[in-house]
Amino acid sequence: MAYKGPDISAWQGDIDIKSLAKQVDFFIFRAYAGSSKDKKVDRNVQLAIESGKPFGLYIYSYALNTAQAKEEAQRMVTLANSYSVKPNFLVIDMEDADGYKKRYGMPSNQTLKDICTVEGEIFEQAGYYAMVYASSSWFKNQLAGLTRFDKWVAHWPTSGGKQKGNATSPDGENANNCGIWQFTSEGFLNGYNGRLDMNYAYKDFVVKGYTVNSNPTSQPTRKSNEEIAEEVKQGLWGNGDDRKNRLSAAGYDYNTVQNIVNESYNKPQDTITYYIVKKGDTLSGIGSKYNVNWKDIANLNNISSPYIIYVGQSLKIPVKGKSTNVQSQQNTQRTYTVKSGDTLSGIGSKLGVNWRNIANKNGISSPYTIYPGQVLKI
């Protein structure tokens, strides 16, 4: 038996979920695009719950390495745990529709598969059914050999050069090798005038196991401009127009955030040093080593419960009791972890160091290539 349901995001605005619920078996809602929460996900989930319909959540992934994948997955689990009814499944959306991965150095096929594995395993460890979304082309090429998780395959059959849309039979070419098949981007349902992505699901996990969450956690509060500014400084929001577009899409005022970033480099602040997490490390152990409260380390690095850290992660450590200028702060940075969009000249400018000195210290020669996740000696 095939079940039918749409996947929906903020692009559909205040869509009438309750009207659609009478025509479908399940919903799939976008939860995040990278670190940007979908503006309509809370609304959409609540209306699905009120309609008694099961649902799943997906994150459009911007991860370029496994460290970023862990952050994305933990963000998803936190949101999923906040609802009064748990989603039936969580999905990592592996595509590059906006060209982000290509612009910032398309990861190798193995890294792309590792990103899926990291996120999927975190979903499973949290008690959720894990899936990977991609086009049939990506599954045959970039994700070839990835069999660890169920597939949500995007492939839109055509007839006479046009998508078949609602007329597509559930007995399509993908019916036997995936859990969910996205069969069109031109579906229609009563109650919404626009086009919808429509899906057939072939496994019962999609619609069964409607689980009331007896102990929902509170959702993370919206981050302050100051917190977002710190993330900008860490390279989590890209650079230039990409940064501006992503901040605006997430509902933040670009100019306000950028002003905070600029001002932070011109005022006294506590000394910051950096620590690279090793096997066996815990936040409390690292805190003891630096005589710093471990919760201060967690807050500074935006780490929330269950306070997971991972080998190779670069942590900022607040060295209390000292006031120093920006130059002093920068001199304490013995390492720097490359973020997506970074260049040697940009890192040098940020840290007040000649980029050629960074290149020489790390054995980097022409064409001076660096990559996200690389730890540089400063």
For the chain, list the domains and their CATH numbers. 3-206 (3.20.20.80), 221-264 (no CATH), 268-333 (3.10.350.10), 337-378 (3.10.350.10)
Specify the DSSP element, H or E, that contains 247: helix 240-249
Supply the pTM of this predicted model. Answer: 0.59
Tokens of 202: 């072939």
Confidence check: pLDDT of 364 > 60: yes
**Burial class (CB within 10 angstroms; exposed 0-12, middle 13-18, buried 19+) of 217:** middle
- The answer for residues whose C-beta is within 8 angstroms of residue 244's C-beta and 6 or more apart is 254
CB atoms within 10 A of CB 309: 17
**Burial class (CB within 10 angstroms; exposed 0-12, middle 13-18, buried 19+) of 317:** buried
Please check whether residue 373 is in contact with residue 337, taking contact to mean a CB–CB distance below 8 angstroms: yes
Please check whether residue 135 is in contact with residue 95, taking contact to mean a CB–CB distance below 8 angstroms: yes
- The answer for residues whose C-beta is within 8 angstroms of residue 12's C-beta and 6 or more apart is 40, 192, 194, 196
Cα–Cα distance for residue pair 32/178, rounded to 1 Å = 23
Cα–Cα distance for residue pair 72/165, rounded to 1 Å = 32
Q: Are strands 180-189 and 192-201 parallel, antiparallel or unpaired?
A: antiparallel
Stronger pLDDT, 249 or 189, i.e. the higher one: 189
CB atoms within 10 A of CB 295: 13
Cα four-point dihedral sign 259, 261, 265, 270: positive
329, amino acid identity: Q
Cα–Cα distance for residue pair 216/219, rounded to 1 Å = 9
Question: Strand runs (DSSP E) across the chain, as ranges?
Answer: 3-8, 27-33, 36-37, 55-60, 89-93, 129-135, 150-154, 158-159, 162-163, 180-189, 192-201, 269-276, 314-324, 335-337, 375-377
Tokens of 228: 């977002």
pLDDT in tens, 243-268: 887 777 677 788 888 888 877 666 54
Residue with tokens 């940075």: 333
Average pLDDT for 290-313? 81
Angle between helix 240-249 and helix 254-264 axes, rounded to 10 deg: 120
Please state which of the ranges 14-18, 28-32, 204-208 shows the lowest mean pLDDT.
204-208
Stronger pLDDT, 85 or 340, i.e. the higher one: 85
What pLDDT score does 10 carry? 93
Please state which of the ranges 31-40, 124-133, 175-184, 354-363 shows the lowest mean pLDDT.
354-363
Please check whether residue 49 is in contact with residue 82, taking contact to mean a CB–CB distance below 8 angstroms: no
pLDDT in tens, 275-286: 888 888 888 888
Cα–Cα distance for residue pair 362/356, rounded to 1 Å = 10
With the CA atoms of 262, 243, 71 and 49 taken in that order, what torsion angle do they form, in degrees rounded to the nearest 10? Answer: 120
Closest to 335 in 3D by CA, of 310, 309, 353, 322: 353
138, 338, 352 from 347: Cα distances, Å: 33, 8, 8
Closest to 182 in 3D by CA, of 86, 36, 56: 56
21, 106, 361 from 270: Cα distances, Å: 53, 37, 27
pLDDT in tens, 131-155: 999 999 999 999 999 999 999 999 9
